[in-house]
Structure 1
Amino acid sequence: MRGDRGFRWNDKSCDYRRRFLCSTPAEVIPTVCEEGWYMFELSCYQVNNDEATWRAAKETCENQGAHLVSISSEGEQGFLEAMVQQSTWIGLKVDGKDDDGKRNFAWVDSRDFNYTSWSEGEPNDHWASFSEEDCVEMRIEYKYLWNDEPCSTDNACVPEVIQGMEAVLVVVVAVVVAVVVVDEVVAVEEEVEEVVVVVVVVVVAAVVVVVMVAVDVEVEVVEVVVVGSYHKESRSERHCC
């Protein structure tokens, strides 16, 4: 994701060091982001300035039970653009070529590759003779649009915690149970007051929430986003990507 191209995507050699993004399942679902974390939709993000190449970032994520982040919407892209300060790795990498030699990109978590934010003219494998641009970054010089890049650049990281799915499940189940109970009440007593129906719904929903929390329902997904610093040596002999 190239900063100088509006954080659109850019293909890059996988040996360059870039900031990177990871994701992992979690057991506990926080109701709010912890101190030092920043929320976007169902996710919490925290800046981590450790540096790593794309491959090292991927291994770091996997050692945490996570993976490099997959960006799936314009909103998520925009949030990251506002958060990161330098060129940043994302979990997109070349995954083979077509018969005509065209490169295919794929997310490390096998997510559908439906959303893109490439900088104009990217991916172009510009430095293929020097080092294949098989990894993708949000490049600061491209205003954080995406750019393909050699995967050897060092970058830091930002953990992202996706939360709230459990709460959604609780609400859905509570509503379904409440509707069933209300139907039964109305069937038994057609003259039941509206206020009684409302009370029944609220009570049933509360009971369901308590029960689900008691049995420790776990449906959260967590992502760790790694965002890193710009490695000047990697670009000392190059003008652009």
Structure 2
Amino acid sequence: MEEIYANVDYVKPVGLRPSTNQTSRSGSDRRFLGAVVLLLGLLSFVLLAGLIGLGVHHRDSAAEHLAVRENLTERLQASENKTSSLSREIERLQTLSNRVKTCPDGWKRFECTCYLVSVETASWERGWQDCTSRGADLVIVDRAEEQLTCCSHGLQIKMDDMTVPQKMKPEHLDRPLVAGLQTFLTKIAKKDTWIGLMDRDQEGSWKWSDGTPLTLAFWWTGQPDNGGGHPKYGEEDCAVITANMGTDKNWNDLRCDASRPWICEKNAN
């Protein structure tokens, strides 16, 4: 038996030695796996970059939407404030419109005051007496601002048969209601007409018929001149408003005994 096993040659297993083909295939597999891993890494990087980009875009969009919403909110609030202000103004005007003011027959209304141009002509003193007998005064232009406070502001000044813009030549007319009244009186005066202004008590110290001093004047250029010293004109101590002249400079001084029409004024009822 020992001889039989001794004559048998040892044969080395062929399968235990790696072949060249197997080694080549293993290297290819490793390169393939490496390429796959690299590709997956690149894809992961691209996805990460995309996610970061989307996050930044979303943040910017959210900020932009927030700014738009805040802007719209501010505009809506401003619109509501304007609407509220307009509603209050409409209520105020409606209240004023209910205060209907009327004048006697023959008188013309300017806002809350009535005016009458006399048919006859006479001295300044006679005109003042006539106005007083009617429960009125010789017109006092300078107190129009106080007289007309009951009427609406910011609109046009409305009167019988005419309309005068409330804002007029700001370089000349400081107070718009006085300016409107001055224009109105110029239109209704057909000739030189007495107004309630005089300086009989003290030369050069002009006062209205109620004793208040003159503060806003519309003297014609070179006036008042007290007659310029000419004897034929005498002492010119009373004032007239002159028709057919510019409304900002159309007052003149005359002798108080000159015969002229006059303008009376009293509050509308």
Tell me the TM-score range normalised by the shorter chain: 0.3 to 0.5
Larger Rg: 2
Relative CO higher for 1 or 2, CA cutoff 8 Å, sep ≥ 6?
Answer: 1
In proportion to residue count, which structure has more helix? Answer: 2
- Considering fraction of residues, name the structure with more strand: 1
Q: TM-score, normalised by structure 1?
A: 0.48
TM-score of the aligned structures, taking structure 2 as reference length = 0.43
